[in-house]
Amino acid sequence: MGGKATRVAFGEALLKVAAKNDRVVVINADLGKSTNTVKFVEKYPDRSFNVGVAEANMIGIGAGLALEGWIPFICTFAIFVAGRFETIRVSVAYNHANVKIVGTHAGIGIGEDGYSQMGLEDIALMRSLPNMSVIQPGDAIETERAVEYIVEHEGPVFLRLTRQKVEDVNPPDYRFEFGKGVIVDAARGEGRDLTIMATGGTVHNAREAARELRSQGLDVRAVNIHTLKPIDEELVLDSVQRSGRILTVEDHGLHGGLGGAVCEVVAERGEGVVRRIAVRDFGESGDPVALYKKFGLSIDNIVAEAKKLLKTK
Amino acid sequence: MPQVAADIQRLKKIAQELRVDVIRILTEAGSGHPGGSLSAVEIITALFFHKMRHRPDDPFWSDRDRFILSKGHCTAIYYATLAKAGYIPQEELFTFRKLGSRLQGHPYPGPPDRRVPGIEAATGSLGQGLSIAIGMALAGRLARKAHRVYPLLGDGECQAGQVWEAAMLAPKYRLDNLCAIVDQNRIQNDDFVERTLSLEPFRAKWEAFGWHVIQVNGHEISEVVQALEDVEGVKGKPSVIIAGTVKGKGVSFMENNPEWHGKAPTREEAERAVQEILAAPL
């Protein structure tokens, strides 16, 4: 895997936004090296706090700072965000506290550390909270633009990032639009046969799968859903109207993630079939590329699942 | 000293009136938590009507002292206090716990464009308020403000792990603008704290975590007032006032009885309670 990890892009973007906005503060829970906030801490020690291995306390402190007008980025692994769900529910969401919750190490893409460190349920949980927005960028440039947006956004946001490097999927002049899906390779493919929707670490593979299917004569387009909540309902409906079919691909558990969100829209407002590629069962240790293959997130498997879906009426 | 004595007498009178309000609004609501409201009356009275710098007519004044009701179920005394201080209309108290009310069963500050005056934070899931208070204390320091932050915790609440995450952290940042108060009424939802899960040695725990600790009789307003004065002289570390109290204080049939943690009195019980409160010498 080439490119840059979105957690690395986040660390760089954070420095840039902090230089412009002195309300930005960072709270770590002993994972600053992993979440890439170390440079921020070095540069802005007065605006940095490390609470130790105590995520619930970190969340509450973030809420307190936000209620006083600061813009705290509280940073840990996505799974440890999920683990403190009810603290986020009351201290952050119910308080309408302007806290930016950063969860790195999304999904099986983290590799060797195994299931206990893999964020696989976090989108489902964060999506369920009133007042919480959920963003998962698909590459470095999108991460940078998303962080710029998040600082200005009023209200709590969950930002989900990859440990592993991800290939660029957006052009250098990319503009981030909150709540709007992005058709990747926009000029090629109308999606008359199928739309593949992906998010985060799987966008690149979804794009490559769409290219492969197009090379076989099928009209397939790939869509990057960087904002999982609020999801781009119009784009989902447009996609299902074009072909009657959507294939979703995500490095997250099967329930309540991108696939779940798309199903909700199609079931309520559209007509068609949704097939979900997501992580079924527990993850496990291994090389990220091998894991993506085993759990069905590889280009080959996306192509195979797309073909199965195309056979349905 | 006569002036101080007069002020204590004024506070005792307010406390008595707040006790009556607690009984009345819980009876009207038909549900709620009398025990922990009645145990906290003197603590909250000393804060809102003596110690705290605040402006009920300018509730979002940025230099105000912050109060966080971490023991969030004790809204009856909280809302009664907010009404008496002038944050909310007295008649609004009778909307407490009813559909459409701003006065939710547990504190809710409301959405950003309709914040409820006097409510700093949502609480009610026990164990979260001290962390929020630390965030506010850090915020005050970042902004170079002199205001203080007063979270009020229950003793049963101190069984929650997050309380000790927060207790561990506050001394690291030398938060001498933070003064936690524990309403140690020794009863929690199911039973006595001691029989549920002992917190002892309670004072030693806070001291071991690096806090300045003062223990007072939480029903002696003069002692609470004195402790609140004393902690302002403590520099370089946070303070905690452990206030020994009686759950259900002031109503004999509620006192020290776990039954009265979370149920409202009937109208007949309420009348007896009010008569007893008003008959008690100040």
Confidence at residue B191, expressed as pLDDT on a 0 to 100 scale: 96
Confidence at residue A313, expressed as pLDDT on a 0 to 100 scale: 66
Contact B165 A68 (CB under 8 A): no
Contact A74, A59 (CB under 8 A): yes
Interface test with A, best of B61, B73, B128, B164 (most A CBs within 10 A): B128
Which structure tokens are listed for A294? 């085993």
Q: Coil, helix or strand for B217?
A: strand
On chain A, the residues whose CB falls within 8 A of the CB of B121 are 63-64, 67, 91, 95
Owning domain of residue A61: 4-166
Dihedrals phi, psi of A283, to nearest 5 degrees = -80, -170
Q: Give DSSP secondary structure letters for B230-265.
A: HHTT--SS-EEEEEE--TTTT-TTTTT-GGGSS-PP
Confidence at residue A213, expressed as pLDDT on a 0 to 100 scale: 97
Would you say residue A303 has pLDDT above 90? Answer: yes
A263 touches chain B (CB under 8 A): no
Contact A14, A37 (CB under 8 A): yes
Dihedrals phi, psi of A245, to nearest 5 degrees = -145, 140
Between A47, A56, A95, which is nearest B165 by CB?
A: A56
Minimal C-alpha gap between A54 and chain B (Å): 6
How much is the average pLDDT of A130-152?
Answer: 98
Active-site choice (A12, A55, A112, A234):
A55
Between A54, A60, A86, which is nearest B135 by CB?
A: A60
Q: What's the structural domain count of chain B? A: 1
Q: Do residues A84 and A193 share a domain?
A: no
Confidence at residue A250, expressed as pLDDT on a 0 to 100 scale: 98
A68 touches chain B (CB under 8 A): yes
Q: How far is CA B207 from CA A59, A75, A214, B169, in A?
A: 25, 30, 69, 13
CA pair distance A27, B18, nearest whole angstrom:
40
pLDDT < 70 regions, chain B: 1-2
Q: Do residues A190 and A115 share a domain?
A: no
Show which of A166, A190, A213 is a domain's final residue.
A166
Summarised one tens digit per residue, pLDDT across range A147-175 is 999 999 999 999 999 999 999 999 999 99
Show which of A166, A195, A229 is a domain's final residue.
A166
Q: What's the structural domain count of chain A? A: 2
Dihedrals phi, psi of A220, to nearest 5 degrees = -125, 135
Q: Do residues A219 and A74 share a domain?
A: no
3-state per-residue secondary structure call for A155-215: CCEEEECCCCEECCCCCCCCCCCCCCCEEECCCCCCCCCEEEEECHHHHHHHHHHHHHHHH
Contact A52 B169 (CB under 8 A): yes
Contact B19, B258 (CB under 8 A): no
A67 touches chain B (CB under 8 A): yes
Contact B138 A64 (CB under 8 A): yes
Minimal C-alpha gap between B112 and chain A (Å): 7
Contact A91 B121 (CB under 8 A): yes
How many CB pairs lie under 8 A apart between chains A and B? 106
What is the number of alpha carbons within 13 Å of residue B36 lying toward its C-beta? 29
Owning domain of residue B30: 2-279
Q: Coil, helix or strand for A76?
A: strand
Regarding beta strands A71-77 and A100-104, do their DSSP bridges make them parallel or antiparallel, or are they unpaired? parallel
Contact A61 B169 (CB under 8 A): yes
Dihedrals phi, psi of A164, to nearest 5 degrees = -80, 160
H/E element holding A74? Answer: strand A71-77
Confidence at residue B96, expressed as pLDDT on a 0 to 100 scale: 97
CA pair distance A283, A116, nearest whole angstrom:
9
- Dihedral Cα B225, B219, B66, B107, nearest 10 deg: -170
Q: Do residues A141 and A283 share a domain?
A: no
How much is the average pLDDT of A103-117?
Answer: 97
Active site residue A55: yes
CA pair distance A171, A107, nearest whole angstrom:
25
Minimal C-alpha gap between A33 and chain B (Å): 20
CA pair distance A205, B47, nearest whole angstrom:
60
Confidence at residue A102, expressed as pLDDT on a 0 to 100 scale: 98
Residues 6 or more apart whose Cβ sits within 8 Å of residue B188: B154, B155, B156, B159, B196, B258, B261
CATH number of the domain encompassing residue B239? 3.40.50.970
Q: How far is CA A79 from CA A158, A160, A217, B166, in A?
A: 12, 10, 40, 21
Confidence at residue A186, expressed as pLDDT on a 0 to 100 scale: 79
CA pair distance B67, B59, nearest whole angstrom:
12
Residue A107 lies in a domain: yes
Which structure tokens are listed for B211? 């806090």
Contact B162 A87 (CB under 8 A): yes
CATH number of the domain encompassing residue A234? 3.40.50.920
Residue A174 lies in a domain: no
Q: Do residues A186 and A292 share a domain?
A: yes
Q: Do residues A145 and A211 share a domain?
A: no
Residue A232 lies in a domain: yes
Closest chain A CA to residue B173: A49
Confidence of residue A2 (pLDDT cuts 50, 70, 90): low
A285 touches chain B (CB under 8 A): no
Q: Do residues A46 and A158 share a domain?
A: yes
Q: How far is CA B235 from CA B176, B231, B232, B239, in A?
A: 6, 8, 8, 9
Interface test with B, best of A90, A92, A100, A132 (most B CBs within 10 A): A90
Q: How many CB atoms lie within 10 A of CB A289?
A: 14
Which structure tokens are listed for B200? 């002892």
Closest chain A CA to residue B166: A57
Contact B136 A91 (CB under 8 A): no
Minimal C-alpha gap between B77 and chain A (Å): 21
User: Which residues face B50 on adjacent strands?
Assistant: none
Contact B169 A65 (CB under 8 A): no
Would you say residue A17 has pLDDT above 80? Answer: yes
On chain B, the residues whose CB falls within 8 A of the CB of A83 are none
Contact B134 A66 (CB under 8 A): no
Q: Do residues A146 and A50 share a domain?
A: yes
Q: Do residues A121 and A215 share a domain?
A: no
Q: Which residues of B touch A (CB under 8 A)?
A: 108-109, 111-112, 120-125, 127-140, 142-143, 161-162, 165-166, 168-169, 173
Strands (E), A199-261: 220-224, 227-229, 245-253
How much is the average pLDDT of A178-191?
Answer: 92
Minimal C-alpha gap between B173 and chain A (Å): 9
Closest chain A CA to residue B116: A95
Amino acid present at A244: G
Summarised one tens digit per residue, pLDDT across range A242-289 is 999 999 999 999 999 999 999 999 999 999 999 999 999 999 999 999
Summarised one tens digit per residue, pLDDT across range B234-273 is 999 999 999 999 999 999 999 999 999 999 999 999 999 9
Closest chain B CA to residue A47: B142
Residues 6 or more apart whose Cβ sits within 8 Å of residue B13: B282
Would you say residue A1 has pLDDT above 70? Answer: no
Between B108, B135, B140, which is nearest A61 by CB?
A: B135
Confidence at residue A151, expressed as pLDDT on a 0 to 100 scale: 98
On chain A, the residues whose CB falls within 8 A of the CB of B160 are none
Strands laid side by side in the B149-154 sheet: B66-69, B149-154, B179-184, B239-244, B212-217
Which structure tokens are listed for B276? 């007893």
Contact B128 A67 (CB under 8 A): no
Q: Do residues A146 and A215 share a domain?
A: no
Residue A194 lies in a domain: yes
CATH number of the domain encompassing residue A149? 3.40.50.970
Q: Do residues A32 and A149 share a domain?
A: yes
On chain B, the residues whose CB falls within 8 A of the CB of A63 are 121, 131-132, 135
Residue A176 lies in a domain: no
Confidence at residue B4, expressed as pLDDT on a 0 to 100 scale: 80
Q: Do residues A51 and A155 share a domain?
A: yes
Contact A60 B134 (CB under 8 A): yes
* Residue B261: closest CA among B29, B74, B126: B74
